[in-house]
């Protein structure tokens, strides 16, 4: 799913910069560099950070006017605090990367999980990094980001559903379906509660699940997500299917955590 989103983004940008297409290998290299950056910050690797940040680096996050040395000092101080009182490691996902031979933009979600199981609390952040290739190596020249609002959290939760479908991730559904969940199957029209929904996991094999036209609206502690779900796979008898479904999902926020409350889909004609 993430690869398809990346492909779509690059397709939009191609008419502007067709001469400098960002290849999958380029994006993989930049994603690795970003992950290495996170690990270096966690362990307090001053040498790595000194090499990665450009001398004219600036943090453009509102309220933060950090230069290179201030950013490194803050990262090292945080690493030292973590050594004395280890906290949860942030996880990075939903990467979107665009690059030319000399510049790159990397964006991704950052999730920090506190606690375990159904009572776990998640903090969500969106980072945007701008890099330039100088002297044959990538350097970070500026950075921006901020915590996700409720609409952003719901948007990513709705997209996570696709990944869970492909992975037959029962644990994801157990955590993210509300106990009073009710859904209407786009295949059969039957009403399903949480127990019935969980029982359906693995009955069909989903090999591709993508969302388009995603829109999210938040109304206090409830939210609505709508879009078109394109799913491919094989059914219980091994027959291939390729369906597009227009759906509406409702989310409810309880104890500070968003969960799927209702879902209804209508199959679209070819």
User: Per DSSP, which regions of 38-158 are E strands?
Assistant: 53-59, 91-99, 103-114, 121-134, 137-147
CATH number, domain containing residue 67: 3.10.450.50
Q: Can you state the percent helix, strand and coil of the chain, rounding each to 5?
A: 35, 45, 20
Judged against a pLDDT cut of 90, whether residue 72 lies above it is answered with yes
Of 131, 147, 163, which one is at a domain's C-terminal end?
147
Q: Compute the average pLDDT of residues 93-98.
A: 95
Question: Tell me, what's the pLDDT at 139?
Answer: 97
Report the mean per-residue pLDDT for the chain.
Answer: 89
Of 114, 147, 180, which one is at a domain's C-terminal end?
147
The reply to whether 159 and 197 lie within a common domain is yes
The reply to whether 173 and 62 lie within a common domain is no
The reply to whether 139 and 219 lie within a common domain is no
Judged against a pLDDT cut of 80, whether residue 95 lies above it is answered with yes
The reply to whether 159 and 240 lie within a common domain is yes
The reply to whether 234 and 129 lie within a common domain is no
Instruction: Give the tokens for residue 246.
Output: 């227009």
Q: What is the pLDDT of residues 36-52, one digit of tens each?
A: 999 999 999 999 999 99
Taking the CA atoms of residue 227, residue 232, residue 235 and residue 241 in that order, the dihedral angle to the nearest 10 degrees is 100
The reply to whether 98 and 114 lie within a common domain is yes
The reply to whether 128 and 171 lie within a common domain is no
The reply to whether 134 and 258 lie within a common domain is no
**Band of residue 229 on the pLDDT scale cut at 50, 70, 90:** very high
Of 147, 168, 202, which one is at a domain's C-terminal end?
147
The reply to whether 21 and 127 lie within a common domain is yes
Residue range(s) defining the domain that contains residue 245: 150-267
The reply to whether 143 and 159 lie within a common domain is no
Question: Helix (H, G, I), strand (E, B), or coil: what is residue 155?
Answer: helix
In total, how many domains does the chain have?
2
Question: Tell me, what's the pLDDT at 65?
Answer: 67
First to last CA, the chain: 21
């Amino acid at each position: 799913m993430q690869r398809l989103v990346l492909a779509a983004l690059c397709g939009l940008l191609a008419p502007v910069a067709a001469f400098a297409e960002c290849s999958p290998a380029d994006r993989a290299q930049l994603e690795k560099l970003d992950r290495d950056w996170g690990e270096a910050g966690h362990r307090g690797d001053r040498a790595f950070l000194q090499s990665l940040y450009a001398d004219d680096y600036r943090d453009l996050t509102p309220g933060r006017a950090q230069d290179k040395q201030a950013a490194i000092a803050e990262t090292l101080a945080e690493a030292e605090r973590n050594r004395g009182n280890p906290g949860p490691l942030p996880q990075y996902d939903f990467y979107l990367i665009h690059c030319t031979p000399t510049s790159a933009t990397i964006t991704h979600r950052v999730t920090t999980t506190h606690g375990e199981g159904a009572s776990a609390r998640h903090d969500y952040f969106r980072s945007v990094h701008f890099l330039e290739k100088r002297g044959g190596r990538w350097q970070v020249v500026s950075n921006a980001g901020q915590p996700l609002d409720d609409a952003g959290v719901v948007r990513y939760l709705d997209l996570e559903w696709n990944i869970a479908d492909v992975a037959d991730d029962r644990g994801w559904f157990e955590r993210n379906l509300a106990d009073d969940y009710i859904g209407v199957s786009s295949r059969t029209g039957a009403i399903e509660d949480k127990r019935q929904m969980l029982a359906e996991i693995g009955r069909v094999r989903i090999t591709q699940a993508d969302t388009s036209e995603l829109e999210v609206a938040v109304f206090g502690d409830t939210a609505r997500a709508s879009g078109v779900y394109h799913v491919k796979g094989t059914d219980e008898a091994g027959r291939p299917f390729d369906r597009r479904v227009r759906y509406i999902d409702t989310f409810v926020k309880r104890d500070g955590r968003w969960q799927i409350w209702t879902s209804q889909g209508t199959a679209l004609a070819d």
